[in-house]
């Protein structure tokens, strides 16, 4: 890449991040919220890899951080899905607004 | 504009538009489809940015694992009305305003930052050998941080880097994955209902 | 000619993709004919004979014309977008894996030093198209097929990845080009004969790959005795055709991966020199490269033939048997094989036996992928030598090529 610089890649990361936040806020389906978190993590990953590419000092560390983020995302998705399935078993819905048993 | 630039803009547009579509679309399975395009586009960005291994991991873990898990979850819980749960108009309005503000904040943050202390020229792909270094750094058999000082704004005190390798985090993460595996299996196990007494 | 030099990578990529699509589609046509003939012979009949001369070799073409001329029906209850787009996702996933497959010395669509891993990861994306097709068809048979496919594929990816790691451990590289080049010479140089664990791994990998291509006896996603036709019940015409190209392409890709990892890649195993010139300067080199492509394709087709043979010989398993076979047998077996295969070199060196072959990649060829890694130190596999890494503490060495600029 010659003219595409750091800022353009950061812009993509920011779009992914904001889309993820919006997805978490607006979706009422619990699995939709999960998709939002994946988007947020992806936005962060794009930034990590962008800094890794554009700066020599970080070109290993950025990628390693991205790898760890992906692993964490896998773990988070597995646990969250287990929780969603449990929630569905107990409440027969996946609407996150219905999760208010602990409301005082 | 070189061909690599063109490719970058195509992939970036695809990624961004699909990410927006994930938010906009109401059907949860279609959202999964758009999420697939987003994740694949991100993997494409990683390949363009020279992170071959991270891109392949992204495809394998996200597309081959997490996304299938999500769709599987949708199929297990898909009862007509829940496929199309939607938020109210007021919530949408607030969300759009907050989202635009957040995007503006992030955009102004990286547009107003003076990136001159970072070298703007990316490394020469002919001399970079990321994947090997990545593996050696994860094994701890090679220093992951090249010697040098951290980039700071002109005029500040230069900061020396400490030497790190990533064997311990790697082991911690693998144990963590094992714990998650057991925990998820425990949480999602088929259990008998208590019956009508409670 | 500056223009040509600037855009040469683009033109090369276009040429490579056209050739690869032709290869995938063309071999799918031949596979379908082969499948009919194999099925016929195994069931003690002749198979197609009428269309196209003696062996009925035009049968698939006739079928293809019929399929393309068919009406493309979309059911009323289907999700239009998902229904339309999922065949393409399945096909693209399979097609991408051919990008990094080396057909000969330096004959590869995209040289990549993590080719084996890339192939695994894109092959795992094929399943997503099938799940979406199952969901988007709006039919309960399709939905069942899609769910079975999801459960089966997510499980079988684990032993498949583990089985790929084992020959990679012996070869010391993820680059399929280098792995294939290490197996030059006579056939006992092939990785399958490297040690007993590799030999066992090949059979486990082949079983898992068969399941990964959802071939019988693991074709629960389209079990026609239970689910009409599974995930493609509602499809017809060209979209159905794409699913079948994806399935046959996946068989081809998995077989080619097995051939490259275990069975010597493009080497015949009969001639020690084995087409080694491999340059494109001399006519002999071009001929040798051409022959190596043919050898690799022939070997892969042989494995595809074995898959067909299995399909028409064994009855279909039940879905719980498929899952049990993976999670209770194949995963532990491949874990144990991985452990033993990685312990073997350590034991070997402790006993003072002569070094196992292939622990070091041979002299590197001039490849675009390896030009990125110029120093010899970087090319050493991480576990180069068992005794060395166990007796010496790992050293933190400074990287030389990434000075602050």
Chain B window 161-180: which residues touch C at a Cβ cutoff of 8 Å? 163, 165
CA pair distance C350, C344, nearest whole angstrom = 10
pLDDT digits (tens, 9 = 90+) for C214-235: 777 877 767 667 777 777 777 8
- Rounded mean pLDDT of chain C? 76
Beta bridge partners of B159: B150
CA distance B82 to chain C (A): 15
The correct answer on CATH 1.10.287.3510 for the domain covering A8-91 is yes
- For chain C, how big is the Rg over CA atoms in Å? 23
pLDDT higher for B100 or B2? B100
What's the pLDDT score for residue C397?
36
Number of B/C CB contacts below 8 angstroms equals 131
Q: B80 in contact with A at a CB cutoff of 8 Å?
A: no
Report, as an integer, the average pLDDT of B115-138: 64
pTM: 0.82
- What is the CB neighbour count within 10 angstroms for residue C318? 11
H helix runs in C185-318, sequence order: 196-212, 224-227, 237-262, 283-313
In this prediction, residues C48-61 reach a mean pLDDT of 76
Query: Are the Cβ atoms of C405 and A59 closer than 8 angstroms?
Result: no
- pLDDT digits over C18-33, tens only? 888 888 888 888 888 8
Three-state SS annotation for A12-67? HHHHHHHHHHHHHHHCCEHHHHHHHHHHHHHHHHHHHHHHHHHCHHHCCHHHHHHH
pLDDT tens string A50-71: 888 877 677 778 888 899 999 9
Contacts of C404 in chain A (CB under 8 A): 56-57
- Comparing CB atoms, the residue among B75, B123, B125 nearest residue C143 is B75
Using a 10 angstrom Cβ sphere, with 0-12 exposed, 13-18 middle and 19 or more buried, the burial of residue B159 is: exposed
Residues A25, A18 contacting (CB under 8 angstroms): no
Give chain B positions within 8 Å (CB) of C113: 52, 131-132
Rounded to whole angstroms, the Cα distance separating B20 from B34 reads 9
CB neighbour list of residue C191: distance below 8 Å, 6 or more residues apart: C167, C170, C171, C179, C182, C183, C198, C261, C262, C264, C358
Round to whole Å and give the CA distance between C160 and C141: 28
| Least confident window among A45-49, B63-67, B158-162, C188-192 | B158-162
State whether residue B15 sits within 8 Å of chain A by CB: yes
Range ranked top by mean pLDDT from B167-176, B183-192, C60-69, C133-142:
B167-176
Q: Does C398 touch chain A (CB under 8 A)?
A: no
Asked if residue A94 has pLDDT above 80, the reply is no
**What ipTM was estimated for this complex?**
0.86
Cβ within 8 Å, pair B127-C81: no
Domain B3-128 sits in CATH 1.20.120.1200: yes
Which among C383, B122, C168, B25 is positioned nearest to A56, based on CA atoms? Answer: B122
Q: How far apart are CA C388 and CA C158, in angstroms?
A: 31
Q: How far apart are CA A32 and CA A12, in angstroms?
A: 21
Is there a contact between B85 and A53 if contact means CB atoms under 8 Å apart?
Answer: no
The domain ranges of chain B are 3-128, 134-198
C386 with B143: CB under 8 angstroms? no
| Site from C100, C125, C133, C327 to mutate, B interface, most B CB atoms within 10 angstroms | C125
Neighbours of B14 (CB within 10 A): 17
Contact: B77, A85; criterion CB under 8 Å: yes
């Amino acid at each position: 890449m010659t003219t595409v610089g750091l800022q353009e890649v950061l812009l993509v990361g920011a779009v992914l991040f904001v889309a993820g936040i919006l997805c978490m806020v607006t979706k009422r389906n619990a699995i939709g919220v999960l998709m939002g978190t994946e988007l947020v993590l992806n936005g962060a990953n794009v930034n990590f890899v962008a800094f890794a590419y554009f700066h020599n000092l970080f070109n290993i560390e950025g990628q390693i951080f991205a790898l760890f983020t992906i692993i964490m995302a896998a773990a988070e998705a597995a646990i969250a899905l287990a929780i969603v399935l449990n929630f569905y078993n107990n409440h027969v819905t996946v609407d996150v607004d219905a999760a208010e048993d602990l409301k005082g | 504009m070189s061909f690599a630039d063109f490719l970058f803009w195509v992939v970036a547009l695809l990624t961004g538009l699909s990410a927006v579509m994930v938010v906009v679309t109401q059907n949860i399975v279609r959202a999964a489809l758009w999420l697939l395009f987003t994740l694949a586009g991100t993997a494409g960005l990683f390949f363009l940015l020279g992170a071959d291994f991270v891109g392949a991991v992204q495809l394998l873990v996200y597309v081959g694992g997490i996304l299938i898990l999500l769709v599987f979850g949708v199929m297990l819980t898909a009862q007509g009305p829940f496929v199309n749960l939607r938020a109210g108009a007021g919530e949408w309005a607030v969300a759009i305003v907050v989202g635009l503000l957040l995007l503006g904040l992030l955009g102004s943050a990286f547009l107003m930052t003076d990136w001159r202390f970072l070298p703007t020229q990316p490394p020469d792909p002919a001399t970079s050998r990321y994947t090997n270094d990545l593996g050696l750094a994860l094994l701890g058999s090679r220093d992951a941080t090249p010697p040098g000082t951290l980039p700071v704004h002109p005029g500040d005190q230069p900061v020396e880097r400490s030497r790190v390798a990533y064997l311990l985090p790697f082991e911690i993460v693998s144990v963590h994955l094992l714990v998650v595996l057991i925990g998820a299996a425990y949480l999602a196990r088929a259990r008998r209902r208590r019956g009508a007494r409670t | 000619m500056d223009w040509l030099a600037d855009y040469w990578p683009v033109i090369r990529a276009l040429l490579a993709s056209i050739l690869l699509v032709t290869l995938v589609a063309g071999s799918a046509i031949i596979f379908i004919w082969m499948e009919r003939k194999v099925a016929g012979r195994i069931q003690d009949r002749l198979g197609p004979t009428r269309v196209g001369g003696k062996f009925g070799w035009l049968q698939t073409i006739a079928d293809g014309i019929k399929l393309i001329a068919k009406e493309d029906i979309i059911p009323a209850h289907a999700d239009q977008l998902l229904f339309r787009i999922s065949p393409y996702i399945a096909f693209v996933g399979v097609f991408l894996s051919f990008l990094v497959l080396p057909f000969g010395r330096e004959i590869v669509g995209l040289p990549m030093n993590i080719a084996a891993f890339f192939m695994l990861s894109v092959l795992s994306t094929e399943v997503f198209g099938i799940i979406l097709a199952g969901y988007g068809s709006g039919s309960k048979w399709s939905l069942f097929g899609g769910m079975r496919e999801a459960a089966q594929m997510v499980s079988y990816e684990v032993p498949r990845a583990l089985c790929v790691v084992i020959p990679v451990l012996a070869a010391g590289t993820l680059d399929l080009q280098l792995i294939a080049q290490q197996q030059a010479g006579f056939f006992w140089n092939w990785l399958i004969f490297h040690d007993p664990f590799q030999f066992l791994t090949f059979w486990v990998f082949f079983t898992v790959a068969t399941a990964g291509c959802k071939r019988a006896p693991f074709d629960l996603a389209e079990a026609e005795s239970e689910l009409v036709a599974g995930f493609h019940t509602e499809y017809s015409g060209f979209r159905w055709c794409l699913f079948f190209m994806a399935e046959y392409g996946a068989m081809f890709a998995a077989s080619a991966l097995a051939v490259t990892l275990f069975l010597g890649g493009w080497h015949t195993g009969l001639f020690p020199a084995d087409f080694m010139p491999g340059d494109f300067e001399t006519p002999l080199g071009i001929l040798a490269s051409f022959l190596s492509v043919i050898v690799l394709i022939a070997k892969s087709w042989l494995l595809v033939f074995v898959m067909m043979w299995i399909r028409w010989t064994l009855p279909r398993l039940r879905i719980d048997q498929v899952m049990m076979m993976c999670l209770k047998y194949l995963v532990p077996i491949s874990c144990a094989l991985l452990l033993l295969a990685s312990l073997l070199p350590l034991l070997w060196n402790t006993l003072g036996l002569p070094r196992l072959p292939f622990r070091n990649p041979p002299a590197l060829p001039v490849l675009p992928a390896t030009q990125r890694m110029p120093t010899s130190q970087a090319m050493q596999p991480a576990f180069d030598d068992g005794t060395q890494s166990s007796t010496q503490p790992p050293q933190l060495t400074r990287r030389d090529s990434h000075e602050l600029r």
